[in-house]
Amino acid sequence: MASVASLILRNAERWQNAKLTREPEFEPVAKRLVAAKDRYQKIEATTGVPWFVIAVIHQREGAQKWTVNIANGQPFDQKTTIVPKGRGPFSSFEDAAYDALTNCAPYAAKWKDWSPGGMMTLLEQYNGLGYANKGLPSPYVWSGTDQYVKGKYVADGVFDANVVDKQLGCAGLIMAMAKLDASIQLKPSSPTLAPPPDPAPTPTTPTSQPAPSGGLFVAIVRALLALFKRN
């Protein structure tokens, strides 16, 4: 099973190398998502999730329809019947989005690593780690880039190695959006350096005690001799 830490590193490498293979398809969708920036920013303000991450989840889960719950694409005014089950109904798109990002796995509002590798890994967890467990790039993230070729879960637990995901992946959407909005900047996290070890204690050299001075020694001898003479 893939660890999240190793997946972050792998996705960081994929992001660095990725190129769009279906750029004409990405452009109109990216424009549509960027046009709704103000609405997504209101959700960012309450959850801490970057607005463009919310946007690509919205696109991937519900083709940016404002009637859906971004948790799974079902109508937000109805109780969900697929994972996550039993959420809602909600009175607005924003309320449903807040619940999806805060109270449903992978709990995006609690995620702290918004570097490229961390962001792509959060998005991959949103869809599930089935691809990572097979050592494959997730089309949920990488479809439409040269990091993905084929292979798709066509049903829960059913993987077909020859099916190609036709939906646009989250990574490519973010790349296309970044070309339209300069505020979208993904910078790698600075590596955390271990603190330097404590310096070794300086060895203490025992101080030799000085021998009694010659004058003192002579005085002691004379005192002893005088004592013996009295006896």
Question: In this predicted model, what pLDDT tens digit does every residue of 175-190 receive, in sequence order?
Answer: 999 999 999 998 765 4
Q: Is residue 33 part of a domain?
A: yes
Q: Is residue 201 part of a domain?
A: no
Please indicate, yes or no, if residue 106 is contained in any of the structural domains: yes
Q: Range of 153's domain?
A: 4-178
What does the pLDDT read at residue 187?
75
Q: 68 in the Ramachandran plot: left (φ > 0), alpha (ψ -120 to 50) or beta?
A: beta
Residue 62 lies in a domain: yes
pLDDT of residue 205: 40
pLDDT score for 12: 97
Query: In this model, does residue 136 exceed pLDDT 90?
Result: yes
Do the domain assignments include residue 218?
no
Angle (CA) 105-110-114 rounded to 5° is 105
* 200 pLDDT above the threshold of 50: no
Q: Is the confidence at residue 11, as pLDDT, over 80?
A: yes
Q: Is residue 44 part of a domain?
A: yes
H helices of 63-110, where? 93-103
DSSP 128-158: -SHHHHTT---HHHHTTBTT--S-EEEETTE
Number of domains composing the chain: 1
Is 216 inside a domain boundary?
A: no
Tell which residue, 140, 139, 169, 145, has the closest CA to residue 20: 145
Question: Residue 220: inside a domain, yes or no?
Answer: no
Per-residue pLDDT, averaged over 130-147, amounts to: 97
